[in-house]
Structure 1
């Protein structure tokens, strides 16, 4: 009996990297216990949105790991748990020997180690990642799950056949039709304006900006964020079509129809961006981080309009680091892919500028825009019949 007891006492204790309990093996890429393995699995499968009732820095140890699910999930991410990891099973001998050398002898030591870990810069970045990931899932109508379940339907409007009309009436007809198209697209876009505003509020540091800067960032960045969002729902070109954009209600507008609303060159640039951006195969968390970065970065290029560009730049730097950490963790440290993605920001800003130029055409016709949603008019500074 004594030999059995001695054998059990000498068996190395390998702690769960999340809570410090006894690890049962490698789960989702790290040594963890059965409890944390199951918790992480449920969290990612159900895309649960947690909230911390304190300051987001709760201690996560075996005795209180169920107290704050937000901080427990953040800790899972911080130690490297990932749904993309495929290594499972018992802790290998080499790992046991290595961890035995640095064995922590008591729960108090585990708690102290966890507290120190919470103070690291990387953990702060995981807090940013978690906040933005949850904000994106809550306030984007074009997530993977939502676009997959869209029931698509064509828009019920006709582009005028200019060939069948004489020159005198054609111009007036085209102008009238373009106004109707603009207003209809504005109706489709307006729910996304609500989404982007709510998403922006949850970007860490955003509410610390002046109210004027918050409004500038949203006004300058909305269309660009929408381009990123909607890229997921774009129908690719085929033998019968040049492609189409599907809005959140399932209505789609074709490439040819966007040619009419804007112009062929701008519409083609939009669809080229959709194709190249979709080539990155980003997940929802990465798209959310990129959208947050685009919202801040592209407005900084218009720094003369911002009241406190330095504070915005500080938040931008954190977002760059968070996106880099997330992408390198999920893609085996592929720095080049991250660099290519960052290279899409200037292209996105150029599309935003060109869209703003097209808005000038609409602003000049404000007196006839009776169907323009008030929120769309406000975000793009278009005078309305009511306000005029």
Structure 2
């Protein structure tokens, strides 16, 4: 029928009615005789249905009859993420416009979010903007696919390339989600107690008023008695602070007295070395003691550290990249203290039970503090092995130091280091027994013959 529009000279936008009086068309009365069963209303409806309006844009656009029932609106299930009204299926699931856009932006921009609660926030249309991490996790849990985002992005770029005749590299975005950690209320209480105990028994470097001494600062000697007297005095005070710290570690005083003493003697030197190494100033190559006395490497050697000096300073330098704060230093000290593998414990299993929450607290705290550095926790924990190695060397130094000082060792130092001295004697005894049995020892040099 539309082939005849030009012949009838119908202009654009005009309406042609075939049933009004016109010399070119049949009149309604002549049709009435053929359709006697139709009423006037039927004829009006029929005339309206036959009214055609031509459009200038396209001859294929034909307006539907006003009486034609409109198609039913398409309905979707609520948004699988926030339960808001869905606008369709996006990236594999029924989703609203808000969650669709949020998911697309998160994937395309490789967004990394962090939950500040417990990684289980309620996500609905009211709360969905409060926690982006949990919202993204809900998107994945609902079934949204980041591959769909990548595919759609690639398709759009391909169309744009075809139109502009440019070639661009197609990249598939990769999603990197960093696992976050939150302390439970119980672990949070443990961390708070350990941190407070550490700070109150070991002031930080910035809290101390530094002072120095010129005593034997240039040349290494076997022992400077003046520095030794000062060092032994400070060491005694530091041991008292370590004992105070130990008593404030949750559960420590619940152990048997024997086990408390065993653990303190075994870990005291570990904790003392860890503490002094956190007061290392690399640009001056100095260490600061609890009263503010700051000594150079040479002075510390002459104060009694002797051959142990360089190993201690090396360890201090290795701590610097870890950037441990007071909480981590305190937790690491507590872990050193309650170690179930110490010799002569009466109830090692109870000690292990005490250590477990400390390890978990250090792991969570360390990863929460450095979310992009998940390997920092094992690096911090491995420092315990280094501390024990230095302490073993310290036991050897105690033996030689007792022969260098003119008087006796201060009683508290003697008591605390007695365990290390006993371990050294036990080690020598085992080496002698292996030599008697012609068993090669673990170290490289040949053992001295056992004298009888």
TM-score norm. by structure 1 comes to: 0.57
Which of 380, 385, 388 is equivalent to 2:417? 380
Which of 228, 236, 242 is equivalent to 1:196? 242
1:282 is paired with a residue whose SS is coil
2:228 is paired with a residue whose SS is helix
Question: Which residue number corresponds to residue 75 of structure 2?
Answer: none
1:365 offset after TM fit, Å? 6.0
Distance 2:226 2:414 in 1: 15
Structure 1 residues 155 and 214: CA distance shift in structure 2, 3 A: farther
Distance 1:161 1:202 in 2: 41
* 1:245 and 2:298 matched: no
* 1:157 and 2:215 matched: yes
Question: Which residue number corresponds to residue 327 of structure 1?
Answer: 366
1:380 is paired with a residue whose SS is helix
Structure 1 residues 134 and 161: CA distance shift in structure 2, 3 A: closer
Distance 1:96 1:311 in 2: 40
Structure 1 residues 364 and 209: CA distance shift in structure 2, 3 A: farther
Deviations 1:53-85 (A, max 9, x none): xxxxxxxxxxxxxxxxxxxxxxxxxx69xxxxx
Question: Which residue number corresponds to residue 296 of structure 1?
Answer: 338
Which of 172, 193, 217 is equivalent to 1:131? 193
Distance 2:217 2:418 in 1: 27
Distance 2:219 2:252 in 1: 47
1:323 offset after TM fit, Å? 0.5
Deviations 1:13-68 (A, max 9, x none): xxxxxxxxxxxxxxx9748xxxxxxxxxxxxxxxxxxxxxxxxxxxxxxxxxxxxx
1:235 offset after TM fit, Å? 2.2
Which of 95, 98, 106 is equivalent to 2:130? 95
1:334 offset after TM fit, Å? 3.2
Task: Map 1:96-115 onto structure 2 (within 5 A).
Answer: none
Question: Which residue number corresponds to residue 70 of structure 2?
Answer: none
Task: Map 1:1-388 onto structure 2 (within 5 A).
Answer: 30=116, 93-95=128-130, 122-141=184-203, 143=204, 147-158=205-216, 177-237=223-283, 243-262=285-304, 265-297=307-339, 300-301=340-341, 303-332=342-371, 334-364=373-403, 368-369=406-407, 373-381=410-418
Whether the 8 Å CA contact 2:308–2:397 is kept in 1: the answer is no
Deviations 1:171-216 (A, max 9, x none): xxx76x4555433211122221121111111111111111111112
**By percentage of residues, which structure has more helix?**
1
Whether the 8 Å CA contact 1:246–1:253 is kept in 2: the answer is yes
Distance 2:188 2:232 in 1: 36
Distance 1:30 1:192 in 2: 38
Deviations 1:250-278 (A, max 9, x none): 11221112333456652111011111112
Per mean C-alpha deviation after superposition, the further-off stretch among 286-295 and 261-270 is: 261-270
1:245 is paired with a residue whose SS is strand
Q: Which has the higher contact order (CA 8 A, sep 6+)?
A: 1
Whether the 8 Å CA contact 2:270–2:336 is kept in 1: the answer is yes
Distance 1:296 1:135 in 2: 15
1:124 offset after TM fit, Å? 2.3
The gaps in structure 1 that reach 5 residues or longer are 1-27, 32-78, 81-90, 100-119, 163-173, 383-388
Distance 1:212 1:156 in 2: 43
Whether the 8 Å CA contact 1:225–1:294 is kept in 2: the answer is yes
Question: Which residue number corresponds to residue 34 of structure 2?
Answer: none
Whether the 8 Å CA contact 1:179–1:362 is kept in 2: the answer is no
- Number of equivalences: 255
Structure 1 residues 196 and 92: CA distance shift in structure 2, 3 A: same
Question: Which residue number corresponds to residue 70 of structure 1?
Answer: none
Structure 1 residues 340 and 161: CA distance shift in structure 2, 3 A: closer
For the aligned residue pairs, the C-alpha RMSD in angstroms reads: 3.5
